[in-house]
Chains A and B, each alone.
Chain A
Amino acid sequence: MNKPIRLLSIACLLMFAALLVNANVLQVVQADDLNAREGNRRVIDEEFSRERGAILVDGTPVAESVPTDDRWSFQRQYPEAGLYAPVTGYFSYIYGQSALERSQNSILSGSDNRLFVNRVVDLLGNQEPQGGSVELTLDPVAQRAAAEGLRDLGEGTRGAVAAINPQTGEILAMVSQPTYDPNALASHDLSATRDAWDQLTADPNQPMLNRSTQLTLPPGSTFKLVTAAAALENLNLTPDSEVKGGAELTFPGKQYTLPNQGGSDCGGDPISLRQALEVSCNVSFGDLANQVGEDALVEQAELFGFGADPLQGLAYERSRVVGAQSEGLEDTQLAQTGIGQYEVAATPLQMAMVAAAIANDGVVMNPYIVDTLRAPNLEVLEQTEPSEFGEAMSPEHAAMLRDMMVSVVDSGTGGPAAIPGVQVGGKTGTAESAADRPPYAWFVSFAPANDPQVAVAVLVEAVTGDTSDIGGGRLGGPIARSVMEAVLR
């Protein structure tokens, strides 16, 4: 009977080999996946009990963990409450993490592979493991100026501001209004956390939406910058070239006409390209869009970043020129597209990138918000280097457009953004998304024109009252100006 016993021995060997291999697969190979799964209370408890790294702006923590003596040893705190909430996100026991708390979690929690040596040292020294810190590119003065500017329009006004450094792509300000207090979601009082969450998610104003990156809206007349860039690049125009003016644009064989805002005639027909931009002439840019053609216009927008997601670490909604279902635009639709209506939709950050590229000799820089990742011992783990997204237009054409934008501020609709002694370029805009809703006011600008340090886009939703382009300049201009002043101070 020994032969069958030997066979069974081999079977036992295989069974135990299978158990051992399976344990290895589970506890080593699949471990990271399992640890990263949602609802894994062990990992949440551990991360909650650990000294999580800080998120820093200009060396000051905007999210930090402080010791407590409750069930979890540390409490996540956001000293500025709502000011940086769109960027930091929240760190909640029940609802997980969002924004940078989520995307930088491996560094903040200390589980990143680059912190492996630190973890081993902590383990051997019987120290609690610590998380690394994340230093942001934001300028605290600019951030505060942007938030205050929006708040001055009224607490109920929805809006967003995005500011970037045109030469590097560093994000200098990122503000969304209304905002929320992440402290309420990070609370260790779980029922209070639930209440806060329910209230925030039920709010029709969507306070947890980062409007500067997650909301795409028709950019209105600010999109004329893209149309102008396409015209300069493709039609070999100069600022003094004559373009179509007049009170309205007609289309052969169609009833529809495209009028100017407020019934203006843009000062004649024809007019110079410079004048068309100064007065934000719908007729001129509707006509230019049709001269350039849909393909070239879309291509120009994509060179500025439309359709792409260049931002790392934050949720980003891609901007677009035409809808996904579109099968070619008619001339009327293309004319509306050329003035930032119809299906055009862009985030404030995207419009800031357009202004930044024009200021930066046509070169689009990838926007970034994480400047430096540091280990708990302050050793630099990663330093973000500026990188080019691409060249949207030639330096000569960029210089022409920059020059025209300066004219807009000096003698056109962008007057409210002017800063004494500094050459500021800008462009206003208003846009309607639906007939029964008040339009959006936009303003994009950069300064100084000869050595650009900052490009800003301001979006104000749901404006009532003055709905002209002048309204865009009146509402957005002062906010853009105070942000630019804060950076240039």
Chain B
Amino acid sequence: MSTPTWVPRRRRGAELALTVMAVAIGVFGYIAVGLGVSGTIPSDTYALIGGLVLAAIGAHLAVRRFAPYADPILLPLVLCLNGLGLVMIHRLDLGRQAIDPERGAFAGSQVVWTFVGIVAFAAVLVIVRDHRRLQALTYTFGLAAIVLLILPLLPGIGHEQNGARIWIRLGPFSFQPGEAAKICLAIFFAGYLVVKRDVLALAGKRILGIDLPRGRDLGPILLGWLISVGILVFQRDLGSSLLFFGLFVVVLFVATERPGWLVVGSLLFAFGAWLGYTAFGHVRVRFEAWLDPFADPDRNMQIVSALFGLAHGGLIGRGWGQGSPELTPFSFSDFILASLGEELGLTGLMAILLIYGLIVERGLRIALTCRDGFGKLLAIGLTMSFAIQVFIVAGGVTRLIPLTGLTAPFLAQGGSSIVMNWAIIALLLRISDQTRRPAPPTSSVGSDEQTQVVKL
């Protein structure tokens, strides 16, 4: 084995410095909301600073201890987004309750969920000491994904909200299992395809320049995917259907290295979109609202209000607490990017989009440099699903593409979303740690040289 020319560095100090800045952005945002709404610095600022610093330092220490070679930028980026999201949800609580005191506040529970998310983040780092061990559980995760997706349809625990049946409710807690299913499916796809990639790519007939795999190779994964997407369509959760479909096509493309899959995927998507447009009234409504929201400003009031807000925000925004983002329904969840764009302006919105872009870039880099096939596929799957989700939600609220209900990762209100996204970042950091870790010292025992060390 040759000596690597690249000396791995931990860069944990850089991560800490960036983490402090990320926390500072959140804290100053909170103070600015206080000044903007009531003209005073909120009295509980110290408690907030304390809590945030504690959580951030906890996350940082978990990385330092359990993934010392992991990418140093991801954690601060995510903390920054999480902080901005909390501040915006708090600000919208104030705005919405100024209109009607009966309306629920979300900031408090979102803080709790953030802590749960960071605990989940640390737990993943502690439990999954080597991501390759997940490969052994490929089919378990596949099954888990299907079970999770079926749960909301079960009577008793399933719960419909705003026209989509994607929640389960256990006692006081409601949870969106689709978010967890996304991770399970990514693991399932990666584990399955890394084994079958050669047969998928090579065996089988070649039709119209596309190597079609044999049915028995493709069957299981196709089935798993069909069930997931089918359930989601049944639950009227179009955003997630689109996301899972994209995840599947992307991982298949990377595994087989056959661009034909992208063509097939695009055709299938076009067909599905056409089917949805003709079969479902709500798809047609969304599409028409995208083409010309002002044709029916009352029906398209939500997107119209978001566009007015973004335009009113302009270049530099109204400032924290100075705009009217609370006029838009779901300003704190699906439309939180529009709320941020209104108060922080184009400048702030672009900064947030760039943070998302950087997270995606770090994910792609992890996928590129990862040395094992499973890790590569898992990293690209998680990263691309993140990128597609951001594109769908940000493009939707800014009228780049038709609106589909998805949450903006780390910003939008919603417990399951924030917890699962923290878990995704933990998985990416785990793969990154494995990748950047220095090669194991050459053992004096010759036979060990050919064996890769798998930490158990």
Which residues of A are found within 8 Å of B354, using beta-carbon distances?
16, 20
| Contact (Cβ within 8 A) A12 B311 | no
* Contacting residue for A42 out of B308, B315, B357, CB 8 A: B308
User: Which chain A residue lies CB-closest to B253?
Assistant: A4
| Contact (Cβ within 8 A) B346 A28 | yes
User: Which chain A residue lies CB-closest to B376?
Assistant: A1
Best-surrounded residue of A16, A18, A30 (most CB of chain B within 10 A): A16
Q: Does B18 contact A (CB under 8 A)?
A: no
| Contact (Cβ within 8 A) B314 A42 | no
Given contacts A19-B400, A43-B312, A45-B324, contact A1 B360 (CB under 8 A): no
Q: Does B425 contact A (CB under 8 A)?
A: no
Q: Does A326 contact B (CB under 8 A)?
A: no
**A-contact 0/1 string along B330-344, CB 8 Å cutoff:** 000000000001000
Given contacts A27-B349, A28-B315, contact A34 B373 (CB under 8 A): no
Name B312-334 residues within 8 Å CB distance of A.
312-315, 323-324, 327
Stretch of B85-93, B114-122, B129-137, B391-399 at the chain-chain interface:
B391-399
Which residues of B are found within 8 Å of A1, using beta-carbon distances?
254-255, 257, 373, 376-377
Name B345-376 residues within 8 Å CB distance of A.
345-346, 349-350, 353-354, 356-357, 360-361, 364, 367-368, 373, 376
Taken together as a complex, chains A and B put the C-alpha atoms of A173 and B310 apart, in Å, by 43
Q: Does A66 contact B (CB under 8 A)?
A: no
Taken together as a complex, chains A and B put the C-alpha atoms of A18 and B398 apart, in Å, by 11
Which residues of B are found within 8 Å of A42, using beta-carbon distances?
308-309, 312, 323-324, 327
Q: Does A264 contact B (CB under 8 A)?
A: no
| Contact (Cβ within 8 A) B380 A5 | yes
* Contacting residue for B250 out of A8, A28, A30, CB 8 A: A8
Q: Bin chain A's interface residue count.
A: 35 or more
Given contacts A26-B399, A42-B312, contact A19 B346 (CB under 8 A): no
* Contacting residue for A20 out of B253, B353, B360, B377, CB 8 A: B353
| Contact (Cβ within 8 A) A35 B311 | yes
| Contact (Cβ within 8 A) B368 A6 | yes
User: Which chain B residue lies CB-closest to A123?
Assistant: B316
* Contacting residue for B324 out of A2, A8, A28, A41, CB 8 A: A41
Q: Shortest CB–CB separation between residue B361 and chain A, in angstroms?
A: 8
User: Which chain A residue lies CB-closest to B252?
Assistant: A4
**A-contact 0/1 string along B288-316, CB 8 Å cutoff:** 00000010010000000001111111110
Taken together as a complex, chains A and B put the C-alpha atoms of A8 and B308 apart, in Å, by 34
| Contact (Cβ within 8 A) B398 A34 | no
User: Which chain B residue lies CB-closest to A24?
Assistant: B346
Known: A4-B257, A19-B398, A22-B400. 15 other contacts (CB 8 A): A4-B254, A8-B250, A8-B254, A16-B387, A16-B391, A18-B391, A26-B311, A28-B314, A31-B314, A33-B311, A35-B312, A37-B308, A41-B308, A42-B309, A42-B327
* A-B residue pairs, 9 tightest by C-beta: A34-B311, A27-B346, A31-B311, A22-B400, A4-B254, A42-B312, A16-B357, A15-B391, A9-B364
* A to B CB contacts below 8 Å, 7 in the list: A3-B257, A4-B253, A8-B253, A19-B390, A23-B398, A27-B345, A42-B324
